[in-house]
A and B are shown apart, each in its own frame.
Chain A
Amino acid sequence: MKNIEKYEKTAMLALSDKERAELTKRFDEITSTFEVLDEYDVKDYFTRHCGLDPQSHAQKYKVKSQESKIFNVLRQDVVEKFFTREKLMENAPASDDEYFSVPRVID
């Protein structure tokens, strides 16, 4: 059984004991199926099929000589007014109409 408490902390969650027990069970069930990936040697797979080192980028590279299809689509660098401050503040759970309110962060 994996200890999910450290991931809980990373995820900024604080589960109850009951919830932690249930989620640990499901977490273990799912992540144990990931172990099948250990059987795949990506290095070998790619060298055989593509003659390339494996890449973790989603874009295809079939052969080294083929030009990459990756390019950027950029907007004009022009300032556009998106929302007013009031509009943005409407959805804030706590604000003084001008700023978001949060608990004190400096002692």
Chain B
Amino acid sequence: MPFNVILEESIMQKDIPATAGSKMLESFISPIDATVVTRLKATDIKIVGRYAFSEFGISGLFREYQEKKLTKALENADVMLCNDFTGAIAKATKSCGMFYIQPKYGTVSRYGLIPSVCSLDQIGVLCKDLDVGQKVLEIISGYDPKDGIMNPDENAQARDEEKPPHSDIQKQIKQIICCAEFMGNMSRYDGVKYGYRAKDYKDLTEMYTKSRTEAFGEDVKLAIMIGAMVLSSENYDRYYDKARKLIIND
């Protein structure tokens, strides 16, 4: 199968920078291969490049992706592996004749994927030809003990996808849950262990604050602050807890 595959910037390839599209990680070199990369390397599929739709993929939560972003991503490749936790990539495929295969949660290992929204993170396949996409999905899917949410029982059905019962508030529920989880995941970027660190600071708090302020883009900052709002003690019950309750399908 001489397919060419392109990876989203959030998928790690050993000894190659994995920026997740963010200035925060511009100097981060992956210490490992993601499980999907290991599986691709065992075939004759070629990994030909890396591409980011937006910083940590979060912009899809606030606006639609332009068709040309997808066209550009697949300019020199047959398939792209990406994490479409906002649904923006799948939505954009409709207008440009591409396909996005969104596997059920727990189908593809997320080991080596830079996390954005853990309860929705799942590596999927963007492709021009559905048959090619399916072949690549077959290669990358399957149990991996390194991803704790996967079920070792090969015959087990992946958990049913949970859809919000009220279509008119789906967008709000998604934004609340995504921002809340996203905020938690962004808290690891403090300029200590890896990632961007500001030049001038007088104490630890200022180092954290300056590093984050200088390195995060506008959409990331917005999502983090919305996350902080929905999780704050005065708003938790009203927004986050309620959204979690409404997400359960009847």
Contact = CB atoms under 8 A, between A and B. Distances in A.
Contacts of A90: 29, 31
A21 interface: no
Contacts of B175: 30, 34
Interface stretch (B44-52, B89-97, B143-151): B143-151
Interface string B155-195: 00001101001101101110110000001000100111111
Q: Main secondary structure on chain A at its contact with chain B? A: loop
B31 A4 contact: no
A56 to B, nearest CB: 4
Interface string B92-132: 00000000000000000000000000010000000000000
Given A93-B196, A103-B202, A103-B204, A37 B172 contact: yes
Given A13-B221, A13-B225, A23-B225, A100 B192 contact: yes
A103 B201 contact: yes
Interface string A12-51: 1111000100110011001101101110101001100110
Most chain B CB within 10 A, of A12, A42, A54, A90, is at A12
B28 interface: yes
Contacts of A58: 119, 162, 244, 247-248
Which interface class (under 10, 10 to 19, 20 to 34, 35 or more) fits A? 35 or more
B131 to A, nearest CB: 32
A69 B156 CA distance: 12
A102 B207 contact: yes
B172 A13 contact: no
Interface string A47-86: 0011000111110100000000100010100000001000
A11 interface: yes
B154 interface: no
Interface string A89-105: 01111100000101111
Nearest to B30: A91
A94 B194 CA distance: 9
Nearest to B229: A7
A33 B201 CA distance: 38
A73 B152 contact: yes
Interface of B: 27-29, 31, 62, 119, 145, 148-152, 159-160, 162, 165-166, 168-169, 171-173, 175-176, 183, 187, 190-197, 201-205, 207-210, 212-213, 216, 218, 221-222, 224-230, 232, 238-239, 241-250
Given A11-B212, A73-B150, 9 more contacts: A13-B209, A19-B218, A37-B173, A40-B169, A73-B149, A93-B27, A93-B196, A103-B203, A103-B204
14 contacts: A7-B225, A11-B183, A11-B225, A12-B205, A15-B213, A19-B221, A22-B218, A27-B226, A33-B171, A34-B176, A37-B246, A91-B193, A93-B195, A103-B201
